[in-house]
């Protein structure tokens, strides 16, 4: 099976955090060969906590295993949409994302590129620009697979990360070894695998459009969009790969959002859920409890929280204090809808019933 061969090669050449990461990269590579069958193409976001973890090597492997791909560490949105519309390149690989999107990069350029990369996940997305001489409007397509790599989680903008399969790399342990190849060996190593992917995808393309895979209930709607093309590829590869896709999606895209991935407003909403124990609370007490949360951002820096700022932030979620007698109070019930819409549900608590020895014997009989 060609997907098994791709995964095995990746394991020999690069160190990723877990099995799920190898499986996800394999499925993402395969989906680029049948991109005409999909209406959504997730971004592949590769990051490492430090240098020398192999992120550029991983991106290079993706390049060698995809067709009509280009590898760059600097590109503008104008060049990107012109290359996509010109069909010169099928897959775009962007290294040094931390330099492009980090604090030292060109902010205007980074925002334009972010917008382009985000819009291009859906088929039919376009941008309009004026022709240089005539100033007549011209349409440019933006739909295309894109992979990015950078150092640190902040190297991938939040809005791109939300549309991505996130791949984490790590340095290898002293006793770990990877196979190192010379550049002149690349064609010999990768050409047969590209041919195998082309042949296999040609044989399954007719079934991909009509495939309707089932997703784990833990995945939200955006995560299902991200994983849908990969699930379709996995479904065509058989039950073993479908199970791999399910497990990988749960590991990489389900569960509680990490605090450093939340917006400030979402973090505030989450912390309100943590401290709101009574049915109602006045603004001053709520602010005080929020500030008492260890490592919370409310008592220092840019987010010195007071009652007025609290009201302004919560108003975005349609949450306002209500006047009762002479006191204005926040009511817990007014938070419930926002908690259900914008936060991952709290785990349900399962009640454990004590079973007596007599009942145990009765059930056994």
Asked if the structure places residue 308 within a domain, the reply is yes
pLDDT at residue 349 in the model:
37
Tell me, yes or no, whether 213 and 295 share the same domain.
no
Tell me, yes or no, whether 76 and 205 share the same domain.
yes
Tell me, yes or no, whether 264 and 147 share the same domain.
no
Last residue of a domain, one of 219, 253, 287: 253
Asked if the structure places residue 149 within a domain, the reply is yes
Tell me, yes or no, whether 144 and 65 share the same domain.
yes
Tell me, yes or no, whether 120 and 230 share the same domain.
yes
Structure-token match 């700022």, residue found: 309
Tell me, yes or no, whether 249 and 263 share the same domain.
no
pLDDT at residue 253 in the model:
87
d(CA 121, CA 43): 7
Asked if the structure places residue 33 within a domain, the reply is yes
Asked if the structure places residue 77 within a domain, the reply is yes
Residues paired with 137 in a beta bridge: 130
Q: What percent of the chain has pLDDT over 70?
A: 89
Range of the domain at 265: 259-342
Q: Strand 126-130 to strand 137-141: parallel, antiparallel, or no bridges (unpaired)?
A: antiparallel
Last residue of a domain, one of 217, 232, 253: 253
**In residues, how long is the chain?**
365
Specify whether the CB–CB gap between 26 and 197 falls below 8 A.
no
Asked if the structure places residue 354 within a domain, the reply is no
Could you report the per-residue pLDDT of 246-259, keeping only the tens digit for each? 999 999 987 544 54
pLDDT at residue 261 in the model:
56
pLDDT at residue 240 in the model:
95
pLDDT at residue 236 in the model:
93
Could you report the per-residue pLDDT of 12-36, keeping only the tens digit for each? 999 998 999 999 999 999 999 999 9
Tell me, yes or no, whether 84 and 200 share the same domain.
yes
d(CA 199, CA 2): 10
Last residue of a domain, one of 190, 218, 253: 253
Asked if the structure places residue 17 within a domain, the reply is yes
Residues in the chain predicted with pLDDT less than 50, given as ranges, are: 256-257, 259, 348-365
CB atoms within 10 A of CB 163: 20
CATH code, 157:
3.40.50.300
pLDDT at residue 105 in the model:
63
Asked if the structure places residue 355 within a domain, the reply is no
Tell me, yes or no, whether 87 and 161 share the same domain.
yes
Specify whether the CB–CB gap between 237 and 1 falls below 8 A.
yes
Provide the phi-psi class of 130: left if phi over 0, else alpha when psi is between -120 and 50, else beta. beta
Provide the edge-to-edge strand list for the sheet that holds 164-168.
Answer: 69-72, 91-94, 146-151, 43-48, 164-168
CB atoms within 10 A of CB 267: 19
Tell me, yes or no, whether 240 and 267 share the same domain.
no
Structure-token match 């519309």, residue found: 85
Specify whether the CB–CB gap between 193 and 7 falls below 8 A.
no
The residue ranges of DSSP E strands in 12-161, in sequence order, are 43-48, 69-72, 91-94, 126-130, 137-141, 146-151
pLDDT at residue 297 in the model:
80
Asked if the structure places residue 349 within a domain, the reply is no
Tell me, yes or no, whether 38 and 141 share the same domain.
yes
What is the phi/psi pair of residue 46, to 5°? -105, 125
What is the four-CA torsion angle of 308, 313, 316, 317, rounded to 10 degrees? -110
Nearest to 122 by CA among 100, 138, 146, 102: 146
Angstrom CA distances, 192 to 64, 136, 211, 238, 349, stand at: 11, 46, 28, 22, 52
Tell me, yes or no, whether 226 and 265 share the same domain.
no
d(CA 237, CA 29): 14
Q: What is the number of structural domains in the chain?
A: 2
DSSP for residue 36 = G
Tell me, yes or no, whether 162 and 291 share the same domain.
no
pLDDT at residue 354 in the model:
38
The residue ranges of DSSP E strands in the chain, in sequence order, are 43-48, 69-72, 91-94, 126-130, 137-141, 146-151, 164-168, 280-282, 322-324, 327-331
Considering Cα of 173, then 176, then 181, then 182, what sign does the dihedral take?
positive
Tokens of 156: 């991938």
Provide the phi-psi class of 349: left if phi over 0, else alpha when psi is between -120 and 50, else beta. beta
Q: pTM above the 0.75 mark?
A: no
């Amino acid at each position: 099976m060609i997907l098994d061969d791709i995964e095995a090669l990746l394991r020999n050449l690069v160190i990723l955090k877990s099995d799920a990461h190898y499986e996800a990269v394999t499925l993402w590579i395969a989906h680029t060969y049948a991109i005409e069958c999909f209406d959504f193409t997730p971004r592949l976001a590769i990051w490492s906590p430090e240098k020398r973890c192999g992120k550029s090597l991983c991106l290079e492997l993706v390049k060698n295993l995809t067709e009509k791909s280009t590898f760059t560490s600097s590109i503008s949105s104008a060049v990107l949409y012109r290359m996509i519309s010109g069909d010169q390149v099928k897959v775009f690989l962007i290294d040094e994302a931390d330099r492009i999107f980090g604090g030292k990069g060109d902010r205007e350029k980074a925002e334009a590129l972010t917008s382009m990369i985000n819009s291009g996940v859906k088929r039919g997305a376009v941008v309009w620009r004026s022709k240089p001489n005539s100033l007549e409007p011209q349409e440019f397509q933006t739909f295309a697979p894109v992979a990015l790599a950078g150092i640190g989680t902040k190297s991938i903008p939040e809005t791109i990360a939300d549309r991505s399969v996130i791949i984490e790399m790590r340095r290898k342990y002293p006793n770990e070894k990877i196979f190192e190849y010379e550049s002149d060996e690349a064609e010999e190593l990768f050409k047969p695998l590209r041919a195998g992917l082309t042949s296999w995808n040609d044989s399954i393309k007719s079934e991909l459009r009509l495939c309707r895979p089932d997703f784990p209930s833990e995945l939200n709607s955006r995560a299902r969009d991200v994983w849908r093309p990969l699930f379709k590829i996995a479904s065509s590869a058989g039950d073993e790969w479908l199970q791999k896709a399910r497990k990988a999606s749960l590991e990489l895209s389900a569960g509680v959002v990490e605090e450093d991935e939340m917006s400030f407003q979402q973090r505030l909403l989450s912390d309100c859920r943590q401290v709101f124990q009574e049915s109602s609370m006045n603004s001053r007490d709520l602010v005080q409890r929020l500030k008492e949360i260890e490592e919370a951002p409310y008592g220092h820096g840019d987010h010195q929280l007071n009652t007025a700022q609290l009201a302004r932030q919560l108003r975005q979620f349609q949450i306002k204090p209500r006047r009762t007698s002479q006191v204005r109070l926040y009511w817990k019930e007014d938070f419930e809808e926002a908690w259900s819409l914008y936060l991952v549900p709290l785990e349900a608590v399962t009640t454990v019933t004590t079973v007596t020895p007599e009942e145990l014997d009765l059930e056994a009989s």
